[in-house]
Amino acid sequence: MSRFPHLKAFAAAALAALIATAAPAAEKLTYLFPAPDFLPAFTPYQVAKAKGYYTDAGIDVTFQVGKGGADVAKQVALGNVEMGSGIGDTPIIVRANGLPVKAVALLGGKALTQIIIRTESGATDIASLKGKRIGVMAFQDTTYYNLLAALAAAGLSRDDVDIQAVGPAGVVQLMISGDLDAISGTPDWAAAIEGAGVALEVKTINDYIPAMAQAVLASDDVIEEKPELVQAFVTATLHGLTDVMDDPKGSAELLAKTLPQFEGKAAMLEDIMKRYTELVYAVPEGTKLGVFDPERIAAVQDFYAKHEIITSTTPVDDLYTNAFVE
């Protein structure tokens, strides 16, 4: 028996207090994705989580799934989640409808959306999609609005084609089966369709409009009231994105071990990461990853307004902030 039990108890209490002081509780954050969070489009987030970047930043992050980018923005604006994922274009669409959401980090210098066309459909470009069946994930997703913009750039309207909202699984499955002629989608969907032996024509939407890559979204309230949380999440996410760009092989092998959906699929995932790096993530020389170009945002908004995809415009400074990436 210890001769000084009270000293032992005191030491234990002091140690516990010291640990509590040195390691404050992580701040909880719910992050909403527009589609299942295991999709390859979201690998920067999954790499950041698997490597502990969010934990190291003092964040206890929970991933949840919404119903498209516009729905994500709505939930962010209403305060149902702290932050979410959309496209750099998303605030242009939702802010005009009264939702106080800004983009706080841009995950790449090119557009996320591609128009993916079955070669067997006979269409060779967007203009020749007239009368064709085109799939989108949801009518609440920004890829739908990107499609409307691309059609408008090619001289077509939504009435000139048969647009179907078929969900994240349907866009791939129905292209493989031949029940769709084209989709407005992402590089990983094209990879999955080609992997099933379907020949494709892939049109980068930036050939038609200056659309943007994925973006981290936050409400005006969260930006004002929790700037440290926003900064910590953005920094950790960009760290994960940089890892994907710099080491696609290692990142793919990591996620093949940590996400059951990719077990045994490291090579496929590495190929998709390389596609994203080339087609979406790459930024012009001298441009910092994560930063928005206000002139590009203004050009996208003007295009949407000109073609009546939005009915009103918003001051560009209300659509984004570079405060967390500069």
pLDDT tens-digit series, residues 57-112: 999 999 999 988 889 999 999 999 999 999 999 999 999 889 999 999 999 999 99
Does 16 score more than 80 pLDDT? no
- Structural domain that includes position 35: 27-110+212-318
Tokens of 15: 């140690």
Tokens of 321: 């902030």
Q: Looking at residue 23, what is its pLDDT?
A: 55
Q: Has residue 279 been placed in a domain?
A: yes
Does 19 score more than 50 pLDDT? no
Query: Does residue 289 share a domain with residue 165?
Result: no
Query: Does residue 217 share a domain with residue 105?
Result: yes
Q: Has residue 234 been placed in a domain?
A: yes
Q: Looking at residue 11, what is its pLDDT?
A: 43
Query: Does residue 193 share a domain with residue 170?
Result: yes
34 vs 139: CA distance, rounded Å = 12
> By the 8 A CB rule, do 185 and 34 touch?
no
Where residue 142 falls among pLDDT bands split at 50, 70, 90? confident
205 vs 208: CA distance, rounded Å = 5
Query: Does residue 218 share a domain with residue 98?
Result: yes
Q: Looking at residue 15, what is its pLDDT?
A: 45
Does 10 score more than 80 pLDDT? no
Residue after which a domain boundary falls, among 189, 207, 225: 207
Query: Does residue 312 share a domain with residue 232?
Result: yes
> By the 8 A CB rule, do 171 and 145 touch?
no
**Element containing residue 182 per DSSP (H, E):** strand 182-185
Where residue 113 falls among pLDDT bands split at 50, 70, 90? very high
Query: Does residue 177 share a domain with residue 139?
Result: yes
Residue after which a domain boundary falls, among 207, 232, 254: 207
Query: Does residue 95 share a domain with residue 140?
Result: no
238 vs 17: CA distance, rounded Å = 34
Q: How many domains does the chain have?
A: 2
> By the 8 A CB rule, do 57 and 235 touch?
yes
Lowest mean per-residue pLDDT among 12-21, 22-31, 113-122 = 12-21
209 vs 206: CA distance, rounded Å = 5
Residue 65 forms beta bridges with which residues?
33
- Ramachandran area for residue 26 (φ above 0: left; ψ -120 to 50: alpha; else beta): beta
Q: Has residue 324 been placed in a domain?
A: no
Q: Looking at residue 39, what is its pLDDT?
A: 92
180 vs 284: CA distance, rounded Å = 34
Q: Looking at residue 238, what is its pLDDT?
A: 98
Where residue 274 falls among pLDDT bands split at 50, 70, 90? very high
User: Could you tell me the CATH number of the domain that includes residue 249?
Assistant: 3.40.190.10
**Residue 142 vs residue 52, higher pLDDT:** 52
Does 172 score more than 60 pLDDT? yes
Query: Does residue 229 share a domain with residue 304?
Result: yes
- Mean pLDDT, residues 203-222 taken together: 94
Q: Has residue 15 been placed in a domain?
A: no
Residue after which a domain boundary falls, among 207, 227, 262: 207
Mean of all residue pLDDT scores within the chain: 92
